[in-house]
Amino acid sequence: MVWVRVSKSDSFLLFMFLFALPLRCLQATQESPHIYTREEVRSHSSPETRIWVTLGCEVFDVTEFVDLHPGGPSKLMLAAGGPLEPFWALYAVHNQPHVREMLAQYKIGELSPEDKAPSTLKTSDPYIDDPVRHPALKVNSQRPFNAEPPPELLTENYITPNPIFFTRNHLPVPNLDPETYRLHVVGPPGGQSLCLSLDDLYKFPKHEITVTLQCAGNRRSEMTQFKEVRGLEWNIGAISTARWAGARLCDVLAKAGHQLCETEAHVCFEGLDSDPTGTAYGASIPLARAMDPEAEVLLAYEMNGQPLPRDHGFPVRVVVPGVVGARHVKWLGKVSVEPEESYSHWQRRDYKGFSPSVDWDTVDFDSAPSIQELPVQSAITEPKDGETVQSGEVTIKGYAWSGGGRAVVRVDVSLDGGLTWHVAELDGEEQRPRKAWAWRLWQLQAPVPAGRKELNIVCKAVDDSYNVQPDTVAPIWNLRGVLSNAWHHVHVHVAP
Amino acid sequence: MVWVRVSKSDSFLLFMFLFALPLRCLQATQESPHIYTREEVRSHSSPETRIWVTLGCEVFDVTEFVDLHPGGPSKLMLAAGGPLEPFWALYAVHNQPHVREMLAQYKIGELSPEDKAPSTLKTSDPYIDDPVRHPALKVNSQRPFNAEPPPELLTENYITPNPIFFTRNHLPVPNLDPETYRLHVVGPPGGQSLCLSLDDLYKFPKHEITVTLQCAGNRRSEMTQFKEVRGLEWNIGAISTARWAGARLCDVLAKAGHQLCETEAHVCFEGLDSDPTGTAYGASIPLARAMDPEAEVLLAYEMNGQPLPRDHGFPVRVVVPGVVGARHVKWLGKVSVEPEESYSHWQRRDYKGFSPSVDWDTVDFDSAPSIQELPVQSAITEPKDGETVQSGEVTIKGYAWSGGGRAVVRVDVSLDGGLTWHVAELDGEEQRPRKAWAWRLWQLQAPVPAGRKELNIVCKAVDDSYNVQPDTVAPIWNLRGVLSNAWHHVHVHVAP
């Protein structure tokens, strides 16, 4: 069994999460504590109702502590009404004795024993077997599961922790056995096909890269504000970054006997997720990209040093750096080289951009190319829309990314809706030329102009082809609400 | 002598231009004609002064013919007050007997004999030896020569005729002898350098591609309208398309012993044009692009089937598909591979983009990358700003292009300043994936909304990475006035 690969630091967290915390229940005081249900705890999630959280079987009222939280009140509020464990698992700094001691002051009781059992399962539900998700995720759709991290966690780390990496599923999550899993790679005409086990995939040279994935529908909710579209209401979080490892697709294709010929050929991927009629998720990318070692397309089996989580394609998914998330097919079952792009619905009848003049009566899906590389993008993650900031100085944070390996070279930030601009500081790793697959986080400390009661904060990024984001969303509006990359606005109040 | 290569159709035009027309002077009628000087002819260039043109030694008043001109009045007006020959050389359709007969009706006299002599030369002028240029070019700077074709000629042909291809010179044009010309290609450390004659270059496989060149300053005049910048006042014509042929740079570098290594290395180019201190024009591109056969970087010796014109780098220039014009070094003298990009002024202290907040007091040229690939671009060439169009239907034409081989997939056109949009029809060649080096011409026939007295016509293009043009110019304004690619506007009146 080689497929479970857990790093030392992660295994410590996993240990704390799975074993260490429940142990505390056995060590609870002998005094008879107040007993609460999970539902009671859930109803205490705002300053008005007071703010309760749980850790193991213990219940805490942290209302008075929220403003003292070293990571900021907004981070602690993510756990309001629920368990701390999923958040502490992300932030190892909490696993220290003095943190436990601080928390102990706020204990008000314990959870009822029956509240630790899993909820009842409905066996007729095709999503019954979907994995348990992190409570911080903002759910846009439960079935299929689609969810994004909240802005205040999104840019907390350059590498997005696996549990809060945005999830875009089209179908129920398959439950695959790594022992019997096989990847079918169709050979060229007259050649032999490959049938690869996970162990076979591990024998290819292991390639590791940091890649940002973005859904074509990221920031769709801003398009909807202009005019209705069909699609999930993504905020700014349908984007995340991970360190991926796996076999290079070009190595696997070469092993199967494929060569690059000057054609329109595509490499088609089929997932092992399927709808009730048996239709699997599918998508494709040009053969030229697949065969180019510099394009670094992966058949990934690791995400941030772990086996892929089930929501992210366990045991194998495609990672196509610089390309829209829809082509990064998860639970990969089959790879083939075809004369044209995939006939999948998601390749030919979705994930395409149209003029604002096109509606559902006039749309001709064949008239637009399927989205591959994405345009330049950026968004503000801090402060939040509607927040009140202190006068004096404001700190603004966000992310910026561009498709096709184009590096972000500058982020401009405005406090006055775009009349005047500041240049933000770019954090994180310098990027390789033509292979800038990952986002840049950025921040700006700017003086709040005296006497201002409100700020209309705007950001816009520039990539190394000097492409920029459009000023407004209406002229890029399209009926599916994809490719929403106009300037991002956040309106805040200034404390008097 | 292999370097003069003139195609059959071109040689016919050349013959007509150089020999056939002057012969007509000898055949002029025996009646004593009115004699006019060139200066007198030049003063007749508008309907108010009447419109005169010359052909050979004959002078014509074509005022009454202008509105009857089959190619449209604006095309004929380009020749108003001057000779027809340079325009007829572009449009072979004029070289027919019935055209001559039609013109003969408008003859009013002949040119004075002394007016055929070339103008006096000033020998102290470093630009003394610059070539004669086509009179249709709109000159932005005479010394060094910088000029663009007028909008109404720009998209008349998919391939821009050599005489009206936009010209961007930084220095006087060198006058090079193709017999003694040598290209110096520096070898790798410890290796041998090459010293290539034109005949040596011809021995490499000849590679031919259609490539659009664009100056980083194209459309700068629109930026200037918002706020002053330093630079030439280019309108929308600092862009043109030609069929280029030459040796691939990767073949020449390989012959010199260079290999692609994973570094920041650049290939540096030096021109044979130089300023009075002996400093030559120089620029560089990343080695990775230079060595990539798919990037098709050329050492070009042919432009549209002809040896390069002197203004375009005779006998050899670099052509870097998808990359800003400034890197297509003309009159190429030296190629070397260096650990970093060129130290040339034009690489490090010019041709870079900055935030609108940066001025000449705060600019740090090292903080921005040198422009290589250009962003998506489009402009309207017909109708012209301020023109009056007929009610009923309006025809709108223009060009669209993007850098980095990204194909233009759509052009949206608005008649109401961007509130509603039409999709234009794309003309010209379908483009190869990842190698869309040339522009798409486009047009739209649209009904003029009833009762409208004015139209605010706008265009914006989308490339296959779904990058779009920004709405307005102010937020992309920069102190050098480069990268001006906001929506293009043309205001016209509607005839009552």
Candidates B462, B463, B466, B483: best to mutate against A (most CBs of A within 10 A) is: B466
* Cα B370–Cα B371–Cα B375 angle in degrees, nearest 5: 155
Q: What does the pLDDT look like over B45-63, one tens digit per residue?
A: 999 999 999 998 999 999 9
CB contact under 8 A, B353 and A433: no
Of B356, B412, B433, the CB nearest to A355: B412
CA distance B102 to B98: 6
ipTM of the complex: 0.83
Of B369, B374, B403, the CB nearest to A409: B369
pLDDT of residue B188: 94
The residue whose two tokens read 């040596």 is B200
CA distance A173 to A131: 8
Query: What count of other Cβ atoms lies within 10 Å of the Cβ of residue B32?
Result: 8
Q: Which of A94, A133, A184, A491 is catalytic?
A: A94
Name the more confident of B117 and A236.
A236
Bond from prior residue into A70 cis (ω within 30 degrees of 0): no
A361: Cβ contacts below 8 Å, ≥ 6 apart: none
Q: Are A421 and B357 in contact (CB under 8 A)?
A: yes
CA distance B283 to B268: 6
The residue whose two tokens read 């790594």 is A178
Sheet containing A408-414, strands listed edge to edge, beginning at the edge strand earlier in sequence: A388-389, A488-494, A454-463, A408-414, A422-423
pLDDT of residue B10: 41
Residue A436 distance to chain B (closest CA, Å)? 14
Give CA separation, A118 vs A38, A115, A298, in Å. Answer: 12, 8, 36
Terminal Cα distance for chain B, rounded: 62
The residue whose two tokens read 């504590």 is A33
Of A368, A434, A483, the CB nearest to B288: A434
Q: Are A184 and A272 in contact (CB under 8 A)?
A: no
CA distance B10 to B429: 23
Tokens for A136, please give them.
């911080």
Burial call A227-258: b when 16+ CB within 10 Å, e when fewer:
eebebbebbbbbbbbbbbbbbbbbebbebbeb
CB contact under 8 A, B357 and A412: yes
Tokens for A351, please give them.
């994930």
Pairing of strands A206-214, A239-248: antiparallel
Max mean pLDDT among A113-117, B83-87, B295-299 falls in: B295-299
CB contact under 8 A, B468 and A476: yes
pLDDT of residue A309: 98
Residue A286 distance to chain B (closest CA, Å)? 9
Of B353, B423, B467, the CB nearest to A355: B423
Q: Are B376 and B437 in contact (CB under 8 A)?
A: no
Mean pLDDT of chain A: 90
Tokens for B463, please give them.
């490339």
- A-chain CB neighbours of B353 within 8 Å are 410, 462, 466
B157-167: average pLDDT: 97
Minimal CA–CA distance to B211: which of B280, B312, B141, B86? Answer: B312
Q: Which of B69, B100, B182, B432 is catalytic?
A: B69
Element (H, E) at B45: strand B45-46
Q: What does the pLDDT look like over A141-187, one tens digit per residue?
A: 998 999 999 998 999 999 999 999 999 999 999 999 999 999 999 99
Give the global pTM.
0.83
Q: Are B289 and B297 in contact (CB under 8 A)?
A: yes
Residue B242 distance to chain A (closest CA, Å)? 22
CB contact under 8 A, B376 and A467: yes
Q: Are B164 and B138 in contact (CB under 8 A)?
A: no
Q: Is A351 a catalytic residue?
A: yes
- Which residues partner with B332 through β-bridges? B271
Minimal CA–CA distance to B350: which of B213, B238, B482, B218? Answer: B482
- Which residues partner with B141 through β-bridges? B146
Mean pLDDT of chain B: 90
Confidence of residue B262 (pLDDT cuts 50, 70, 90): low
The residue whose two tokens read 């816009």 is A460
Q: What share of chain B is helix, strand, coil (3-state, %, to 5)?
A: 20, 30, 50
Terminal Cα distance for chain A, rounded: 62
- A-chain CB neighbours of B476 within 8 Å are 468
- B-chain CB neighbours of A467 within 8 Å are 375-376, 465, 467
Bond from prior residue into A315 cis (ω within 30 degrees of 0): yes
**Does B17 score more than 70 pLDDT?**
no
Of A357, A403, A469, the CB nearest to B465: A403
CB contact under 8 A, B368 and A464: no
Q: Is B312 a catalytic residue?
A: no
The residue whose two tokens read 């700006």 is A444
pLDDT of residue B346: 95
Query: What count of other Cβ atoms lies within 10 Å of the Cβ of residue A98?
Result: 7
Q: Are B347 and B338 in contact (CB under 8 A)?
A: no
3-class secondary-structure state, position B492: strand
Query: What count of other Cβ atoms lies within 10 Å of the Cβ of residue B496?
Result: 6
Chain B positions touching chain A (beta carbons under 8 Å): 264, 286, 288, 353, 355-358, 368-369, 371-376, 403-404, 406, 409-410, 412, 418, 420-423, 433-434, 460, 462, 464-472, 475-476, 483
pLDDT of residue B3: 39
Q: What does the pLDDT look like over B469-485, one tens digit per residue?
A: 999 999 999 999 999 99
CA distance A487 to A262: 38
3-class secondary-structure state, position B250: helix
Bond from prior residue into B315 cis (ω within 30 degrees of 0): yes
CA distance B62 to A471: 48
Residue B401 distance to chain A (closest CA, Å)? 13
CA distance A212 to A204: 23
Of A375, A460, A466, the CB nearest to B466: A375
Give me the DSSP letters along B154-200.
HTTSSSPPGGGS-EE-SSPPP---TTT--EEEPPSTTS--EEE-HHH
Per DSSP (E only), the strands in B70-130 are 107-111
HEC profile for chain A?
CCCCCCCHHHHHHHHHHHHHHHHHHHCCCCCCCCEECHHHHHCCEECCCEEEEEECCEEEECCCCHHHCCCCHHHHHCCCCCECHHHHHHCHHHCCHHHHHHHHCCEEEEECHHHHCCCCCCCCCCCCCCCCCCCCCEEEECCCCEEECCHHHHCCCCCCCHHHCCEECCCCCCCCCCCCCCEEECCCCCCCCEEECHHHHHCCCEEEEEEEEECCCCCHHHHHHHCCCCCCCCCCCCEEEEEEEEEEHHHHHHHCCCCCCCCCCEEEEEEEEECCCCCEEEEEEEHHHHHCHHHCCEEEEEECCEECCHHHCCCCEEECCCECHHHCCCCEEEEEEECCCCCCHHHHCCCECCCCCCCCCCCCHHHCCECCECCCEEEEEECCCCCEECCCEEEEEEEEECCCCCCEEEEEEECECCCCCEECEECCCCCCCCCCCCCEEEEEEEECCCCCCEEEEEEEEEECCCCECCCCCHHHCCCCCCCCCCCEEEEEEECC
Backbone torsions φ then ψ of B135, nearest 5 degrees: -70, -15
Torsion of CA B279, B285, B286, B291, to 10 degrees: -110
Give CA separation, B47 vs B67, B77, B105, B229, in Å. Answer: 11, 10, 18, 35
Q: Which of B44, B168, B207, B327 is catalytic?
A: B168
Q: Are A485 and A470 in contact (CB under 8 A)?
A: yes
Sheet containing B194-196, strands listed edge to edge, beginning at the edge strand earlier in sequence: B194-196, B183-185, B332-338, B266-274, B280-286
CA distance A438 to A158: 9
Tokens for A405, please give them.
């390996």
Confidence of residue B314 (pLDDT cuts 50, 70, 90): very high
Q: Which residues of chain A have pLDDT under 70?
A: 1-31, 90-92, 116-124, 262
CA distance B30 to B8: 36
Minimal CA–CA distance to B391: which of B442, B443, B446? Answer: B446
